[in-house]
Copies of this chain bind each other. A is one copy, B any other.
Amino acid sequence: MRNVTSDNITDTFLGYFGDDTDPRLREIMVSLATHLHAFARETNLTHEEWQKGLDILRQAGSITTSERDEFVLLSDVMGLSSLVDMINSPEKGTSSSVLGPFHISNPPAMHMGADLKGDYEGELILVSGRVLDTDGNPIAGATLDIWQTAPNGLYSSQDPDQDMYSFHALFTTGDDGCYSFTSVKPVSYTVPTDGPVGEILNATGRHPWRPSHLHYIIKAEGFRSLVTEVFPDDDPYLDEDTVFGVRDDLVMKYESAPASSFPETGFDLCGKVGEDYLVVNFDLVLSRA
């Protein structure tokens, strides 16, 4: 096209594809260019604003490492990560929710009833539930990869004072599909604000808080893997998660229970707790692959 104008540039772009382009790649690139161009036209984007956008990407590039990914965070706070989760959620089963940037590989295998908190202080919680198929049958041999922050609001990879696998565990279900462990109640925390994402949140009057949660990845043969989170129903940030991760079916009540009621068997702490504790039950329902 010799005379490209703001009216025909999108069509010109569409005309550049080679005949052998993968149809799915073409579909994605056509939609991306169409929306990118419509965004620029709608806003009458100036050169200075365009440069500012490029600056944000350049800054994200310069702050990103193998352990801290500002591009993922940018996608998170724009709502894109959660939207991709929701678009790809199966119709039945437990909702998925954001993976987040703090998952680590090869968490330590633990037996049911293990204690994740070690010497950390905090509100004792007893977490249990079942891994089920959509007909309510237990799934045996399912793995639950579970992680959370320490009571200081930091994941182990963010906190030099924690061991690498602190508050990370891998459980495998038996025939009853059950899982259970003890830990401390997770706390609300802020996403990192020392990069361009922090600048965007600040400029748009948004806070960087996430409601407290436990992370789960559940895998079982013959079923779709599920990445999700569970939130306590009294968290002040449930209605304003800065990364849009909350779903109704992921919000659970942490019920108070007296110390005297703590189970006498089945847990590493077995009736040895000297304080009241909180019980949360969270079943995970998986769709077939």
Q: B-contacting residues of A (Cβ < 8 Å)?
A: 1-6, 9-10, 12-13, 16-22, 25-29, 31-33, 35-47, 49-50, 54, 57-58, 60-62, 64, 69, 71-72, 75, 78-88, 200, 203-206, 238-242, 244-248, 251
Q: Is B251 within 8 A of A2, CB to CB?
A: yes
CB nearest neighbor in B for A49: B28
Q: Is B43 within 8 A of A27, CB to CB?
A: yes
Q: Is B31 within 8 A of A42, CB to CB?
A: yes
How many Å lie between the Cα of A9 and that of B69 in the bound state? 23
How many Å lie between the Cα of A31 and that of B43 in the bound state? 7
CB nearest neighbor in B for A60: B61
A79 partner, pick from B19, B37, B45, B244, beta carbons under 8 A: B37
CB nearest neighbor in B for A19: B205
CB nearest neighbor in B for A206: B16
Residues of B within 8 A of A58 (CB): 61, 64, 69, 71
How many Å lie between the Cα of A205 and that of B85 in the bound state? 31
Q: A46-B84, A61-B71 are in contact. List 12 more A-B contacts (CB 8 A).
A: A2-B239, A3-B246, A3-B248, A10-B79, A16-B204, A17-B204, A17-B205, A17-B206, A22-B203, A35-B35, A45-B87, A61-B64
Whole-angstrom distance from the CB of A185 to the nearest CB of chain B?
Answer: 19
Q: Is A54 within 8 A of B72, CB to CB?
A: yes
How many Å lie between the Cα of A237 and that of B266 in the bound state? 74
Chain B CB count within 10 A is highest, among A36, A69, A240, for A36
How many Å lie between the Cα of A212 and that of B240 in the bound state? 53
Whole-angstrom distance from the CB of A204 to the nearest CB of chain B?
Answer: 5
Residues of B within 8 A of A69 (CB): 54, 58
Whole-angstrom distance from the CB of A55 to the nearest CB of chain B?
Answer: 9
CB-defined A-B contacts under 8 Å, sample of 28? A1-B246, A2-B248, A4-B244, A4-B247, A5-B86, A6-B87, A9-B83, A16-B240, A17-B204, A17-B205, A20-B205, A21-B203, A21-B205, A26-B204, A28-B45, A29-B204, A31-B43, A35-B36, A36-B79, A40-B80, A44-B88, A47-B84, A47-B85, A47-B88, A50-B75, A57-B61, A58-B61, A61-B61
Q: Is B13 within 8 A of A84, CB to CB?
A: no
Q: Is A4 within 8 A of B82, CB to CB?
A: yes
How many Å lie between the Cα of A38 and that of B78 in the bound state? 13
Residues of B within 8 A of A12 (CB): 79, 244
Residues of B within 8 A of A238 (CB): 2
Whole-angstrom distance from the CB of A17 to the nearest CB of chain B?
Answer: 5
Residues of B within 8 A of A38 (CB): 35
* Known contacts A35-B36, A75-B54; A86/B203 CB under 8 A: no
How many Å lie between the Cα of A45 and that of B87 in the bound state? 7
